[in-house]
Amino acid sequence: MTLIAAMHYQKGHEPLRNAIVHQPPVVAPTADANEAYMTLLTGQWPLLPVVEHGRLVGVLEAENLAEYLMVREARSRKG
């Protein structure tokens, strides 16, 4: 039964766990920013959870991470 059908049948009272299809990839706070960016670009997920010791500590988004990488590159060129 699809989630939509189940929600209709149960009058909208469907647990969120039934909506989760796959687990997204996660990265640690110590992960390389370039690798995290490539994970976002090549994956099917719009956000990349940052997890430390099994606890969510942040979320990365491709656009914001790209801006960070550009600023970091510009600063490294200045010396």
Give residue limits of the domains in the chain.
Answer: 24-78
DSSP state of 31: S
**pLDDT higher than threshold 60 for residue 76:** yes
Distances 60 to 1, 3, 15, 32, 46 between C-alpha atoms, Å: 33, 27, 26, 12, 9
> Residue 4: what pLDDT?
64
* Rounded (5°) CA angle 53-58-60: 125
User: Position 3: which residue type?
Assistant: L
Identify the band that residue 7 occupies on the pLDDT scale cut at 50, 70 and 90.
Answer: low
pTM attached to this predicted model: 0.68
57 in Cβ contact with 51 (< 8 Å): yes
Q: Which CATH architecture has domain 24-78?
A: Roll (3.10)
